[in-house]
Amino acid sequence: MEQTTCAASGDSLTRRTVSSSTEAARAEEDLQARDDDAPSREEETRHEQEEEMEDSEDDEEARERLMLAEAKKLSAEVKQNPWRGADGALTFQRLAELYRHLGEYEKLNRTARLACVYCPVGEEFLLSWLEEEKRVARLLSGAAFESSFPSHQLPLPREQHLHIRRLYRLARFVLPSVSLALSHLRFEEAAFFASSGAFSFSRSSSSSVSPSSVVSAEGIRGMFEEALDDFALHALEGPCLWAAYRHFESAILDSLRRRQLEKRDSGKQEGKQDRGQQEGRLETGGGNHEEESEVVRQMHRIQQLFCRQLQLPLAGLGDLLDEYRLVAGNGADAKGREKGETEKKGEGETEKKEERTRWGEERRRQKE
């Protein structure tokens, strides 16, 4: 019995050893097969990706051919009969959309102009067309790659700016709209502030043009006044136009105050100067008085805008009155501070003059 049991256990151990060695051999074969299959799988994946790219390119080419065919068909319909009312407007809009996708910007511009002539167009269509024209103008001018300003605030060259301005005039003539007017005014403001650089808003330069030679503070004020002639009493969007006008004037006021602070800081850093230069500045008054008077005039402009709007039957007059009181209070405090600083400065200079006079008299007595 014992011999039989030992023999059976020996056989089982032998079978286990053989099976384990067989499994190890199979595992090695599987690993080797995987290693052999890895390059082929990579090649298959690469081939599949290339096929997908080719298919996508083929699909894009097919879509482009379809859009070209549709654009030719719609262009022929428009030439044959542009006077088709609402259907004509939809045709023009679809044709403009096709030209935009195809990158045919000249044809897009021509189609939008024809739409303005032959059929009623919507505000959304005009705004999208103008935004596309501005983007193309920036790309053509190359300004988008040479400036640190945000793309929507980049100053355009003179010809491009005048081109966009003419398009805005056409759009506002075709469809009088507060949204179109505000878009036009924001475009002019962005060009003005971006091209002004040093914010030269003194009285002598407030009516002069900015470096782009097409935008000026007085010109933008005139555009705001034109828009107010049309929409000052608009029940819903009139207050937005008034607020945009005040925001423009407030931006100029902030820039003036910023320039004053920069000059004061630079004066403190420079330290004391020659007495002759100080006396000459006292006699001529320097540029401080002119800058302070310009700040006062700018504050008066903003207060006048508040007063003009408060006289109109528009919504939100209570909130507007509170805002006016806050602005008027800040303006009065600023005037008081400026006046006090001016008086203190004048008193200090007077004392220095008297001291220099006494010192000169003492020197003369000593010489005598």
Identify the pLDDT of residue 144: 46
Q: How confident is the model at residue 285 (pLDDT cuts 50, 70, 90)?
A: very low
pLDDT digits (tens, 9 = 90+) for 115-145: 988 888 899 999 999 999 999 988 887 644 4
Per-residue confidence (pLDDT) for residue 84, from 0 to 100 = 72
- Check: pTM over 0.85? Answer yes or no: no
**What pLDDT, on the 0 to 100 scale, is given for residue 186?**
96
What pLDDT is stored for residue 205 in this prediction? 43
The answer for residues whose C-beta is within 8 angstroms of residue 199's C-beta and 6 or more apart is 193, 252, 255, 256, 258, 259
Check pLDDT > 70 for residue 40.
no
Provide the token pair at 47. Answer: 């081939």
**What secondary structure letter does DSSP report for 216?**
B
Determine contact, residues 74/94, Cβ cutoff 8 Å. Answer: yes
pLDDT tens, residue by residue, 45-56? 777 777 677 667
Residue spans of the domains in the chain: they are: 61-121
**Token digits of residue 239:** 């207050």
Look at residue 141 in the predicted model and tell me its pLDDT. 77
